[in-house]
Every structure is written in structure tokens, then in C-alpha cells.
Amino acid sequence: MKVFNYRNLPLEDLGKFQDIDPAVLEKVTAIIEQVRKNGDRALRELTLKYDACFLSSIKVDLKEELKNCARLNPQLKKALARAIKNLRRVARRQVKNLKRAGHFRIQPQPGVILEQKLRPIKRAGIYVPGGRYPLISSLYMAAIPALEAGVEEIIICTPPDKTGNIPPEIIFLADLLGLKEVYKIGGAQAIAAMALGTETIKAVDKIVGPGNIYVTAAKKLLYGKVDIDFIAGPTELTIIADSSARAELLAADLLAQAEHDVLARPVLVSLSKKLALQVKRELELQLSQLPEPRVASEALRNNGLIIICSKPQQACAIANRIAPEHLSLFVENPEKYARSLTNYGCLFLGQNSAEVFGDYCSGSNHILPTNGASRYTGGLNCVDFFKFVYQIKIEDRAVKTLARTASLLARTEGLTAHARSAERRYPGQKGKI
């Protein structure tokens, strides 16, 4: 990891966010057009090309596939049940509070009755990344807020292996959550199918869930045709630590983040030079003990930072500038620091509050903003599956003043038909207030 003092810290390293390469966008644009024109046939061709698998069926037969779930580790099933229980409790409180605040009726002026209502979207799509170890936690993190919000139709897209199968853990989870539509499609083509629809896959209203750069590019290009959670970059962790922190825990958390991806961004902001050097040594030791250290090693070498500063205000300023996905406080009195921190996806207070707990089972959602997006948005939650809609009723007594107001404003904007629409409801009010 690169080591810097606060005085000579290159600010460009703090703003080192990932852009999508134009070549990737061009490639993904071609994939989207292929799916738009050829539907299911394109999905089969692209799956054969990128996943080395021929699909006889795009949709998973859950009843048949559930037979393979009997051999799943019973302890894993219990762990999933506990994680889901915690996440559901949080999501239900979110919905309860949203409904209390989201529904209201008001009269902005006598005779004008306005209601705001909260409506869940109808159909959502969840992308679950594949690979050697599919991210099963992303499935329940995405599904539970949608379920608790009342989304009627939820589908899952996830890439198959070379035999045309998807992991039994995903099948088990889909059944546990009551989700009936699971499709064996991955990559940019899955995002295109969910956004545009094919003969087999009906288009959705919103797509959520993490993915690689091609998935991210497809979400970016199709946003507007469909809603998305956010444009995500590589995963990030920033830790602020003082002399009270334990070096082995700091190293463990930084490594946990680094092993996600060679582009992962682990950052330590240390208020102690001695601690910073201890962590550097501990990282080397723990890295050597990993069964597969290559990814973590590359992420630490290319993207890892250790920043040494002397004042809490400096540490907080650095964290706010980075605006990380995850922000951990390994300090005495973390609540005091929290008051100065504004930009993060999720804040972890104290050494016991490991970021890995947030990844899996503490009740917070792990689908969080990256690439500096925490400056303007938060993590996935139930509100993402609602829309706020207005309902207006105008009584006779309000028409006169509204017609006058709307007429003058419309004519000021040069919209004559708008003005006449208002004036016809109360003749003689042209241009008057």
C-alpha cells in the first residue's frame, strides 16, 4: 500500500474514481442492440459466447431445481435465515415510517385539495453476479426491500455455469423468498433483457444489484428506459483509526475489502504513525495466509492507501472527500467523529462493528453507492421501490385565483394554449391577478 503524510497527500489520489472505458460502452451498446432486435435468440447466442453454455431453456424450472437443494449445508440455511430476519426487521421499519410520512392530504389554499400517495413499483429485476463464488447475499439484500415495499413481481437474472446450471444456493434463496421467476442470463445481455423485454422475459420497471463493468455499463446506457439503483464502481472501504485500534483487526478488514476485486479500494487514515507501520506489517502477514492472495495483493498494491495525519479534523476531511462506500471508525469515542462525517454509504462505529457484518447479516443493506456517489445518495432501501404520486382536486371556489395565476405565468412563458386552458375555466381573467 502507498503511504502518505497528510501534508504531502496528492489530492488526485483521493478523487481516483473509475470511469467506464468508451470501448466497453461501445461493446455493450452492440449487445443491447442485439437483444433489442433478436430477443431470446440473442440471449442464447450471447450466453454461448460469453458463458460457454448453450441454453435449452432461459427460465429456471424451480420445482425441478429445488431437488438439488436438499444437500445444502443446514448451518448455511440457518445463517441465511438469521441474515434475512435482521434485514426484514429493518425493511419493515422503513416501510412503516415511509407510509406514515408519505401519505398526506393538504389544502395549499382554500378549494385546492392535494393528496400525496405512496405506490410501489409493479415489477423489479435483480441481478446476481456469478463467477466461482456467486454473491448469494446480493439476492436477499436486493429482494427484501422490494418485497417489503409491496412490489408484485420480482425476477432474478444470474449467469449459468458451463453446464447450464445456476448455484443451488440461489435456487434455495429464491424459493425461501417466494420468488418464482429466475432466469439463467448474465452480463450486459441480462440487463438489456430486463430493461427491454424478450419473448420469455417481460420488461421490468427497475433493475438493482451489483455486477461487473459490463453490467454497470448496460445499466448506465439503459437508464431512462428503466430505473436503476445507481452506477456502481469498485468496492471501497475507508477506515479512520487512532492509537487505540488493533492492527490485526484493521488489516483483516482492509484485506476483506481487497479480496473482492483487483480494483477494490482499501484506505486507512491513521492518527498514529506507529499504528500505520504495524498495519502495513500485519497486512503482509495476513496476506501470506490467504489461500488465494492474488486479487487482494493486487488491489492493495495498486489502489490501497495509508494516510497518516495528526488531527481528527484532517481525518474526517479526507473521508468526506473520498465519500467511500464503507466508512469504519476504529477510534475512541466514534460518535464524536460521526458528527463531522457526511459522505458515506454505511458508517461502522467502533472495532466490533466489522464491515463484514454489514455485508451479510447486521440488517443494513450492502448495496451501497461507490465512486463518490455517497455525496448525493445512500444505499438501497425500501424507498427505492416506491414512487410518490400526487392527486389533485380543484373546487369551484379556487378556480378564479388559479386561472388568473396560471394564465399570467403561461403567457409569460409564451405558452398561449396553456393560458387559454386556464382562462376557459374562468372567462375574463386573461392576464389578471
Residues carrying an active site annotation = 325-326
Query: Quick one: which of 403, 400, 397, 392 has its CA closest to 113?
Result: 392
Strands (E), 32-140: 104-109, 112-120, 123-127
To which H or E segment does residue 386 belong? strand 386-394
Spatial distance between the Cα atoms of 29 and 26, rounded to a whole number of angstroms? 5
The set of cell numbers assigned to 363 is 440488517
Instruction: Judge whether 165 and 22 are in contact, CB under 8 Å.
Output: no
Instruction: Judge whether 307 and 318 are in contact, CB under 8 Å.
Output: yes
Spatial distance between the Cα atoms of 184 and 203, rounded to a whole number of angstroms? 16
Spatial distance between the Cα atoms of 250 and 242, rounded to a whole number of angstroms? 11
Other CB atoms within 10 A of residue 377 CB: 13
The set of cell numbers assigned to 39 is 430477443
DSSP characters for 289-327? TSSS-HHHHHHHHHH-EEEE-S-HHHHHHHHHHH--SEE
Other CB atoms within 10 A of residue 29 CB: 14
Three-state SS at 133: coil
Query: Quick one: which of 24, 45, 50, 22 has its CA closest to 34?
Result: 45
